[in-house]
Structure 1
Amino acid sequence: MEQQEKLAVLRQLVGFKTIGGNELAAAEYIQDLLAEHGIKSEIHDLGHQQANLIAEIGTGQKPVFTVSGHLDTVAVDEADWDTDPFELVQKDGQFYGSGVTDMKGGVAALVIAMIELHDRQVPLNGTLRLVLTAGEESDMRGSRALHAEGVMQDSDTLLIAEPTGYRTVYANKGEVDFIVTAVGKAAHSSRPNFGINAIQNLMDFLEAVKTKIEQKAEQRPDSVLGKTTFTVDIFKGGIQINAIPAKAEAQINTRIVPEYNNEAVIADFNETLDEFNATHEGEIQVKLLMNIPPVVAKSDSRLIQEIVKIATPYMQSMHYSAEEQQQGAEMLEKQGFNPFATDKLAVLSAAGGTDASELLRDKLEGANYAVFGPGNPLKMHQTNESASEQMWFDFIEIYKKLFAEYLK
């Protein structure tokens, strides 16, 4: 494919509004594109305009190398953007647009690499399987459905093209999310004793459960992934200044490590809930939103070794802006590693989760798994999301070499 053809693929994907789902149209576009190059694919319609896509090239036999990315993106506030988030813009060596980093850039690179290998009839001793998923940014509905269908049962290897830049990740934290609702009783603020303040109850409960979980997290750190974390990310309550609120809601995100795992965090959450409701007026109600386990793969797997070998020369020729170098210095100070090192491609664990938590649910430890994709992870979920043009084009070449080498 010529450079402009490659850009057209990324431009088309950025143009699809796949916020909170709506991946079907993007999946149909990719299916048509693959078909133009003689590659068959299947769309698994999940309803409500959500869909997964699976395509294969090679022998159709083992070994099966699975490569994956998600088609959905996070919400954007278009008024805050300097450009149209659903139009690919090129400026000063950067792409701008919703998903150019997380992760339509990675998806486009995977698709283009597969097409070019097929067009050039590069021999593969095995099967390259492309798996594109729905709903990763919300409930991982797509990868959960694919696990139920057994998409990884015959697959030896999984690469997810989430943005890492010139690093690769072999372990991810899990995630448990909760919606917490406090139900109280409305009253005039001049007579607070006539009501039950749902906001106050919610704040008190959140402080209690946060204290318990953070204490346990301190006691049970993981040697690879660090500590389980607890954050309150959404808080809603009240209708006006002179009314005792009858209802309030918060949404909680916890990031999970094996030493203090999903089941233990949920049990501590529920224990605190029972204790609180037994000693307070009103009621706290809890709904589980997401429950995905951590993944700890092999840090020295063949896949990791091949990534380091193939990608290092590209990393060494990468140019970083002054802003990116400053961000790298900040990351080094806060987390102990520099994502913009130019001498050695780092092999790391990461706090963020991926579809691997569902796809690898039958083998969460010791899998042949890596996260490796174009884009600066600090640009994810940001206004004016951007990605390096040079890195994106380089990753297409890296993927082609990686896939061919792994299946030679």
Structure 2
Amino acid sequence: MNKEEKLAILEKLVSFNTSEGNELAEAQYLQDLLLEHGIESEIENLGNHEANLIAEIGNGQKPVFTISGHLDTVAVDVDKWDTDPFTLVRKDGQMYGSGVTDMKGGTAALVIAMITLKDAEFPLNGTLRLVLTAGEESNMHGSHQLYADGAMNDSDTLLIAEPTGYRTVYANKGEVDFKITAQGKAAHSSRPNFGINAIQNLMDVLELIKTKVEARAEQNQDDVLGKTTFTVDIFKGGIQINAIPANAKAEINTRIVPEYSNDEVMADVKAVVDEFNQTHAGEIEIEILMNIPPVIGNPESKLIKDIIKIATSYMKNTEYTPSEKQQGKEMQAKQGFNPFSNDKFDVLSGAGGTDASELLKDKLMGTNYAVFGPGNPLKMHQTNEYASEQMWFDFIDIYEKLFKEYL
């Protein structure tokens, strides 16, 4: 497969608008592509045009090396893009398009490397299993279903191709997302005592929750992942300036570490809300939107060591733009490491979650797990998302060598 044929695959993936799910058409394209190269695959139709895809090459025996990416992308505001987000645009060594970083670039690189091994009839001492998931950017229902199906029962190793650039992540925080709804009573603003202000109640209870969660997070930090975090990311309420609001809602994101677990955070939030409801007029209700645990792999695993051995030479040949170098300095100041180093291959923990929280649900600690993929993670979920073309081609080579080395 030549350079232009590889780019054509990425171009096709970018052309699918999977920002609201709708992964089925993309999965069907990949199934046809794999079959052209003698690789059979299975599409798991989840309904509503959403789908997972599973494919394997090798001898069908253990060890099983699972490689994974997600097919969906975050929503895009087309009007704010300088180019069509669903058309791959190449300019000044960069590639622009929805998902080119998160994570159609990584998915395409995995598929191409797998096809390359199959075309070369390279003998693998084990099984290379490709798992592409639906809904990672929403509720991870694709990976949740794959876990329920037993797709990971015999797997020894998991690599997820989320964008990391030339470094790798072996641990991720978990996540609990809440919707908090306040029900009050409408009234004219000149007579506030005739109503129950849902916005005020919601603000008050959120402050109580925040105080409790952050205090416990401070006391229960993890040596690898740091501390649990709390953010209010959506807040809605009110209809006009002279009306006491009868309802309001907020959505909260918490990022979880093992020392202050998912269950403990949920219990603390519920306790605050229960006490608030007993002492205030109106009603506060809780809905859990997402609940995934943290994952801490083995930083000394064969997988991590093979990644470092194979990828270090590519890292050292990388040139970064002035803008990227400036971003690196900012990240170093905020997080204590420089993501654009080309003299040391960093092995890190990450604040974001991945499908590993579902796929490794019964193997969350000490497993052979790595996040390692093309792209700058600072460009995830961005307008005018872009990725380095050279890095993308590098990762195709790296993956091919890694799969050979590991199996």
> For this structure pair, what is the TM-score category when the shorter chain's length is used for normalisation?
over 0.9
Q: What's the secondary structure of 1:306's corresponding residue? A: helix
**Residue by residue, what CA displacement relative to the aligned partner does 1:239-279 show, whole Å, maximum 9, x if unpaired?**
11111110101000000000001010000000001011111
Deviation (angstroms), 1:319: 1.3
Deviation (angstroms), 1:231: 0.3
- Contact persistence 1:217–1:229 (CA under 8 A): yes
- Contact persistence 1:43–1:52 (CA under 8 A): yes
Return the letter of the residue paired with 2:383. Answer: T
Distance in 2 (CA, whole Å) between partners of 1:327 and 1:121 is 42
**Residue by residue, what CA displacement relative to the aligned partner does 1:1-31 show, whole Å, maximum 9, x if unpaired?**
1111110111011110101211101000000
Q: How many residues align?
A: 407
- Deviation beyond 4 Å, 4+ runs, structure 1: none
Q: What's the secondary structure of 1:343's corresponding residue? A: coil
Pairing 1:272–2:279 present: no
Residue 295 of structure 2 aligns with which residue? 295
Residue 360 of structure 2 aligns with which residue? 360
Q: What's the secondary structure of 2:145's corresponding residue? A: helix
Q: What's the secondary structure of 1:130's corresponding residue? A: strand
Deviation (angstroms), 1:344: 1.1
Deviation (angstroms), 1:122: 1.1
Pairing 1:341–2:352 present: no
**Residue by residue, what CA displacement relative to the aligned partner does 1:83-131 show, whole Å, maximum 9, x if unpaired?**
1111111111101111000000000000000000100111100100000
Distance in 1 (CA, whole Å) between partners of 2:225 and 2:21 is 29
Q: What's the secondary structure of 1:83's corresponding residue? A: coil
**Residue by residue, what CA displacement relative to the aligned partner does 1:307-359 show, whole Å, maximum 9, x if unpaired?**
00000000000111110011001000110000100011100000000000000
Residue 397 of structure 2 aligns with which residue? 397
Deviation (angstroms), 1:70: 0.3
Distance in 1 (CA, whole Å) between partners of 2:58 and 2:301 is 22
Return the letter of the residue paired with 2:228. Answer: T
Distance in 2 (CA, whole Å) between partners of 1:21 and 1:93 is 29
Q: What's the secondary structure of 1:116's corresponding residue? A: helix
Residue 214 of structure 1 aligns with which residue? 214
Residue 103 of structure 1 aligns with which residue? 103
Residue 39 of structure 2 aligns with which residue? 39
Return the letter of the residue paired with 2:51. Answer: A
Distance in 2 (CA, whole Å) between partners of 1:366 and 1:150 is 20
Q: What's the secondary structure of 1:232's corresponding residue? A: strand
- Contact persistence 1:192–1:244 (CA under 8 A): yes
Equivalent runs, 1:138-153 vs 2, <5 Å: 138-153=138-153
Distance in 2 (CA, whole Å) between partners of 1:405 and 1:302 is 10
Return the letter of the residue paired with 2:100. Answer: V
- Contact persistence 1:20–1:137 (CA under 8 A): no
Deviation (angstroms), 1:56: 0.3
- Contact persistence 1:162–1:372 (CA under 8 A): yes
TM-score by length of 1: 0.99
Q: What's the secondary structure of 2:287's corresponding residue? A: strand
Residue 379 of structure 1 aligns with which residue? 379
Deviation (angstroms), 1:193: 0.8
Q: What's the secondary structure of 2:281's corresponding residue? A: coil
Gaps of 5+ in 1: none
Distance in 1 (CA, whole Å) between partners of 2:33 and 2:307 is 27
Residue 78 of structure 1 aligns with which residue? 78
Gaps of 5+ in 2: none
